[in-house]
A and B are shown apart, each in its own frame.
Chain A
Amino acid sequence: MKKGLPLLIAVGVLLAALVATRLVGNRYLYFAGYVIFQYVVLATAWNILGGYTGYVNFGTAGFFALGAYTATVLILAFKAPLPVQIVAGGLVSAVLGLGIGYLTLRLRGVFFSIATLALALVLQTFVMNWEYVGGAKGVSIIRPAAFPPFASYVEFLFFVMAALAVVSAMAAWWIENSWVGRGLAAIRDNEEAAECMGVPTLRLKLLATVVSGCFMGVAGAPFPYYVTLVEPVSAFSLDYAVNSLAMPMIGGTTTWIGPIVGAILLSTAQQVATVTISSELNLLIVGIVLVAFVLLAPQGIVGLVQRLAGRRRA
Chain B
Amino acid sequence: MLSLDLLLNAIVAGILLGGFYAAVSLGISVAFGLLDIVNIAHPVFVVLGSYIAYALNSALGLDPLLTGLLGVPVFFALGVVVYRLYYASFEKTGEESLRGLVFFFGLLFIIEVALLLVYGVDYRMVEAAYIGDSLHIGSVGIALRLLVPCLVGIGMTVALYLVLSRTFWGRAIMAVSQDSQALRLMGANPVRIKTIAFGLSIATASLAGALLIVIGPVEPSIGREYIGRVFAIAVLGGMGSIGGTLAAGLILGVVETFTATYYGPSWALAVSFGILLVVLAVRPAGLFGR
Interface residues, chain A, with chain B CB atoms under 8 Å away: 50, 54, 56, 58, 103-104, 107, 109-111, 113-115, 117-119, 121-122, 125-126, 128-129, 238, 242, 245-246, 249, 253, 280-281, 283-284, 286-288, 290-291, 294-295, 298
Contact = CB atoms under 8 A, between A and B. Distances in A.
Contacts of B224: 121, 238
Nearest to B111: A287
Nearest to A54: B98
Contacts of A286: 109
Which DSSP category, helix, strand, loop or mixed, fits chain B's interface? helix
B38 A291 contact: no
Contacts of B266: 125, 128-129
A125 B269 contact: yes
B102 A280 contact: no
Interface centre among B106, B116, B266 (most CB of A within 10 A): B106
Contact of A113 (B38, B95, B116, B235): B38
A285 to B, nearest CB: 9
B131 interface: no
A118 B113 contact: no
Contact of A290 (B98, B102, B227): B102
A280 B273 CA distance: 29
B81 interface: no
Given A121-B225, A125-B269, A280-B116, A291 B110 contact: yes
Given A114-B40, A238-B221, A280-B117, 18 more contacts: A50-B98, A54-B97, A54-B98, A58-B105, A113-B40, A117-B231, A118-B273, A121-B273, A125-B270, A128-B266, A245-B102, A249-B99, A280-B113, A280-B116, A281-B117, A284-B114, A294-B103, A298-B95
Interface of B: 38, 40, 85, 89, 95, 97-99, 101-103, 105-107, 109-110, 113-114, 116-117, 221, 224-225, 227-228, 231-232, 235, 264, 266-267, 269-270, 272-273, 276-277, 280-281, 284
A117 B28 CA distance: 15
A223 to B, nearest CB: 22
7 contacts: A118-B227, A118-B276, A122-B228, A122-B269, A125-B269, A290-B105, A294-B89
A281 B227 CA distance: 24
A281 B106 CA distance: 14
A154 to B, nearest CB: 30
B102 A249 contact: yes
B2 to A, nearest CB: 23
A290 B106 contact: yes
Nearest to A112: B280
Contacts of A104: 277, 280
A236 to B, nearest CB: 11
Contacts of A118: 227-228, 231-232, 272-273, 276
Contacts, number: 112
Contacts of A288: 106, 110
Contacts of A283: 109, 113
Contacts of A287: 106, 109-110, 113
Given A117-B40, A122-B269, A294-B106, A110 B228 contact: no
B35 to A, nearest CB: 13
Nearest to B88: A295
A129 B272 CA distance: 18
Which are the 3 A-B pairs with shortest beta-carbon distances? A118-B228, A291-B106, A287-B109
B85 A295 contact: yes
Given A50-B98, A107-B280, A294-B103, A284 B38 contact: no
A121 B85 contact: no
A114 to B, nearest CB: 5
B109 A121 contact: no
Contacts of B97: 54, 109-110
A111 B110 contact: no
A109 B280 CA distance: 12
A209 B105 CA distance: 20
B228 A117 contact: yes
A104 B284 CA distance: 10
Contacts of B276: 114-115, 118
A246 B227 CA distance: 20
A103 B280 CA distance: 7
Given A115-B276, A290-B109, A121 B103 contact: no
B101 A110 contact: yes
A289 to B, nearest CB: 9
A54 B286 CA distance: 25
Contacts of B85: 295
B89 A295 contact: yes
Interface centre among A117, A249, A253, A290 (most CB of B within 10 A): A117
Nearest to A285: B113
